[in-house]
Structure 1
Amino acid sequence: MPAITWIQQMLAFYSRLTDRDLHILQLLDEHRVLTTDQIARLHFTALRTCQIRLRDLQHLGLLERFRYARTGGGDDPWHWTLGLYGARFMAGTLGRPIPTEHAHRDQLLRLTGYVNLRHLRETNEFGVRLAHRARTDPQTRLPRWWSERTTAARFRGIHPDAHGMWQASGHLVGWFLECDMGTESQPRLAAKLTAYENLARTDGPTYPVLFWLPGTVREANLHQTLLRQRPPVPVATATHDTDPAGPVWLTVGARKRVPLADLPSNHGRPVAGNPNWADGELDLSRPDSPGQDDLS
Structure 2
Amino acid sequence: MIRPDLASLMDKLTDRDYAILGDVERFRLLSTKQIQRLHFDACHPTPAASARACNRLLHRLREAHVLKSLDRRIGGVRAGSAGFIWYIGPAGERLLANQNRRKSQNRRNYREPSRHFVEHTLAVSELAVTTIEAERQGVFEILTIQSEPASWQQALLAFGTTLTLKPDLRLVTASADYEHHWFIEVDMATEHMPVIMRQCAVYDAFRTTGRYQAIYGLFPAVLWVVPGIARAQAIRATLATTGGIDPALFRVCTPEEYLSAVADGDDHEFRQPVPDRT
Q: One fold, TM greater than 0.5?
A: yes
Q: 1:203-222 deviations in whole A, cap 9, x for unaligned?
A: 23311111100100111111
**Percent identity over paired residues:** 23
- Residue among 4, 11, 18 paired with 2:7: 11
Distance 2:257 2:130 in 1: 7
Answer whether contact 1:165 1:173 (CA < 8 A) is retained. yes
* Higher deviation after alignment, 125-134 or 169-178: 169-178
Match of 2:188 in 1: 181
Q: 1:142-191 deviations in whole A, cap 9, x for unaligned?
A: 22221221222666521222212122334321111111111112232122
Match of 1:50 in 2: 54
Q: Residues 1-296 of structure 1 correspond to what in structure 2 (within 5 A)? A: 6-45=2-41, 46-68=50-72, 74-75=78-79, 77-99=83-105, 103-107=106-110, 109-111=111-113, 113=114, 115-135=116-136, 137-152=137-152, 156-205=163-212, 206-229=219-242, 231-232=245-246, 234-240=249-255, 242=256, 244-246=258-260, 249=261, 259-263=263-267, 264-265=269-270
Distance 1:104 1:219 in 2: 39
Distance 1:71 1:244 in 2: 24
| TM-score, with structure 1 as normaliser | 0.75
Q: 1:31-70 deviations in whole A, cap 9, x for unaligned?
A: 2110001111111122221111111111222111124368
Q: 1:215-234 deviations in whole A, cap 9, x for unaligned?
A: 00111111111122374252
Task: State the SS of the aligned residue for 1:244.
Answer: helix
Alignment gaps of 5+ in structure 2: 42-49, 156-162, 213-218
Q: 1:240-286 deviations in whole A, cap 9, x for unaligned?
A: 2x15222xx3xxxxxxxx8443244268xxxxxxxxxxxxxx899xx
Answer whether contact 1:166 1:261 (CA < 8 A) is retained. no
Distance 1:115 1:221 in 2: 22
| TM-score, with structure 2 as normaliser | 0.79
Q: Which has the higher contact order (CA 8 A, sep 6+)?
A: 1
Match of 2:47 in 1: none
Name the structure with the higher helix share. 2
